[in-house]
A and B are shown apart, each in its own frame.
Chain A
Amino acid sequence: MINILIELGFALFSIVIALLVGIAFILLAGESPLDAYHALYIGSIGSWREFLNTLWRATPLIFTGFALALPFKAGLFNIGGEGQLLVGGFAAGFVGFYFTGIPGGLHVALAIIAAIAAGALWGLIPGILKAYKGAHEVITTIMLNYIAIQLTIRYGIERYRIGGRQALPTIQDSAKLLRFNDLAELPVVGSLPFIEAFALPGLRLHFNFILALLAALFLWYLLWKTTTGYELRAVGFNASAAEYGGISSKKTIILSMVIAGALAGLAGAGEALGTHHTFMSGMDAGLGFTGIAVALLGRNHPFGIVAAGILFGALSQGGLEMQFVGIPSEIVTIIQALVIFFVAGLQMLKWFLLKQREKGEAE
């Protein structure tokens, strides 16, 4: 509990420092820092709707954060979130538009399963290469990112697209992920008293966020309550000891990469089925890579990643409002980068402080 407070304190502290340094840049651009940060606040958590939209932004980042964190627990560095997201998104978008006449719930489910399967496959390949050939996962996952881009955007979209957009055809209505502002129109659920709170125009939040929360619970349970998680953590901490304990590191490596791929695939599914209603070029928008920072900030803990994802979501959602009040987009980007920089940098400071404190503690 104390640890959580300390982690939280440090995360907030980093953000404050980043914003303070950001003031210099805003002044340099001749704008008012107060206005800028007010806009950041208004645009991200200043209203109920923007808060929900922040959650919408956070959703894919939470998933890609997971995709880094889980293999990290097993001692692997999965840079392939981007590619796994793309193939997942493509699979979901494809199933979403290609098949017609499937009942609503089933169609969404099939599209999501397709995304999970495609992402999992994209994690399985580097997993197998690592486990059996010792090929370094950083290299193989980066390569697979490129392959995913070529496969989905260059060939996939080219093959099926209609009209000008670099995108697959729009998915069928039956494949669309439920958006929160459609809740009020549902039978039963729609009659709940609080449900109108979600019936807001421009609310983009969709049910992939719920899936992200469920995934956080799932990961937490998997890591700390199952033999799989036990084995995974053992391999990550000390592969030799795990081997001694009869744990197959090969199996563990592959499994962690497969689950990670599936989770990144879910990020893609959410973007395709919930956000864009299609699979489109540029949809990944570096989400896979930002996920690395999210996982870092979230200390590779499922719940920490949810919190970190929301912070990053707030930065991009609030960044729009900053641009709206006239802060140049470059400054917005700088402030976002400063937050990442200081969060990472202050982890070092914390490490140092803990080290100092250890001076006063038994071995």
Chain B
Amino acid sequence: MAEENNYLLEMRGITKIFPGVKANDNIDLLVKKGEIHALVGENGAGKTTLMKILYGLYDSDQGEIYFAGNKIRMTDPQQAINLGIGMVHQHFKLIDTLTVTENIILGSEPRQGVAINYREARRQVEEISNKYNLKVDPDAKIQDISVGMQQRVEIIKILYRGADLLIFDEPTAVLTPQEIDELFEIFNSLQEQGKTIIFITHKLREVKAISDRITVLRDGKSVDSVNTEEVTEKDVAELMVGREVLFRVDKGEAKPGESVFQVENLQVKDNRGIMTVNGISFEISKGEIFGIAGVEGNGQTELVEALTGLRQIAGGRVYYKGEDITELSAREIKDRHIGHIPEDRLRRGLVTQFSLSENFILGFHHQEPYSKNIFMNYKAIDQHAQSLIQDFDVRTSSHQILASKLSGGNQQKLIIAREFRQDPELLIAAQPTRGVDVGSIEFIHSQLIKKRDEGTAILLVSAELSEVMSLSDRLGVIYEGEIVKTFAADEADEREIGRLMTGSGKEVKTGE
């Protein structure tokens, strides 16, 4: 490898053992000063544990850490911060009701006597903001700004505390494609100013786009460290998974049958009472995947909730196998074998404080054999869980642990297993691979195709354009609550769709 002394951070032989699991097994991570270093691996590979050790949240059982040439031993995050290590967590740690500036200075406020020198604080925030091209409104409240903005606030927060090494834990998981581009610009300007970045992710495209070097973890071990330009996405994926990965979804020709699902001029309001779905119409046939592509926040959430009975429909009709299901409740819709993979598995899809067994029957708990009259049959429920865990490769030690203990990918598999096992004739899948690792994405995609081939009608809503494009047989682009254009899969053009998604295609539609 390169000359020893170039490294800002050296983590050598890091081992962390949790009861029953070796989360980190003799991991080496070497990060050069001024580079963007991607740390990749499947969920559960040990990325987060490693970073928590670095950040002082965990104590390692073995191994040594050198920072800027000095041996250090982290005991708490404050020490990390003092050394110049900052972390942007996946879930932001901001206070919604305070302003941007207040959040940034919280805990290390500039003072004038006993009072906070707000003016000075604001000046410092603006200075950092200008220096690194991190545009924020210092006086806006957190609750009023977008997720992308909030992330910038987090970045400024750690820069304000003098961080030289910035750790980002899956920073793109919550961002729209535009925001991701902007984040990468920020990465570049941080790099120009001499900062070092560790970037945890499992999105290989991003790794390829932004990083200088890559360290791959698998099953708690460091598999390899490589220079980004010397490898392809496929190489990295194989290092992560340990076997060959099929990047292109292997799907045959669709054989659509009769139309089973019709949506006519659907109108739905959001929680604030604003019409966010504005007259959407489409239909889906048996054995067909209809994809909806679009930037998040254009009515997808409300559309899916309305179709699954979770949100009241303001106008229009929905028909399923000839029956008007517009007014039906969520349970009535579920009972008609309409599966639903919700976009937010933690908010909608799972009761995380329930065991896996209990989650496997959510929505079906009132059906035999899981219960009879009101009496639950836990034997049948556990058997059901065990068979699903096996069939869908949910990695867990037991069906009795809480769902919150599973990794994101395995949580998603749980939901998919649950919905698929009920033999849905219509499946509504929203962001089915969000926050899921490469191996699981491949699995979920192949399962969706399999269902399609068995004759299920599938509505796929995803913010990942590549996902919609590779899976759908037909696809529509949603913008501001309307489907602005529909394509057959082979006519779809990524550039045009990208344009339509961001609204510049609106004139095209009216011009047609």
A residues with CB within 8 A of B: 225-231, 233-234, 237-238, 240-248, 359-363
Contacts and interface: CB of A to CB of B under 8 A. Distances in A.
A361 B21 CA distance: 9
Interface hub of A231, A244, A361 (most chain B Cβ within 10 A):
A244
B329 interface: yes
B102 interface: no
B365 A362 contact: no
A2 B354 CA distance: 19
Contacts of B378: 225
Interface in B298-335: 308-310, 329-335
Interface stretch (B144-152, B184-192, B289-297, B343-351): B343-351
A328 B340 CA distance: 65
Given A242-B351, A246-B333, 9 more contacts: A225-B375, A229-B376, A237-B353, A238-B351, A241-B347, A241-B349, A241-B351, A244-B349, A245-B334
A227 B365 contact: yes
B18 A360 contact: yes
Contacts of A245: 330, 334, 351, 362-363, 365
Contacts of A230: 358, 365, 371, 376
Contact of B352 (A226, A227, A231, A237): A237
A58 to B, nearest CB: 29
17 contacts: A227-B371, A230-B365, A230-B371, A230-B376, A234-B351, A237-B352, A238-B353, A241-B362, A243-B348, A245-B351, A245-B362, A246-B329, A246-B363, A247-B331, A248-B329, A359-B57, A360-B59
Contacts of B392: none
Contacts of A226: 371, 374-376
B334 A246 contact: yes
Interface string B48-60: 1100000001110
A242 B366 CA distance: 13
Interface string B195-224: 000000000000000000000000000000
A233 B359 CA distance: 12
A363 B350 contact: no
B347 A362 contact: no
B169 to A, nearest CB: 12
A238 B363 CA distance: 13
Interface in B358-409: 358, 362-363, 365-366, 371, 374-376, 378, 405
Contacts of B376: 225-227, 229-230
Contacts of A228: 374
Contacts of B374: 226-228
Given A230-B376, A243-B310, A243-B330, A363 B363 contact: no
Given A227-B371, A227-B374, A230-B376, A244 B340 contact: yes
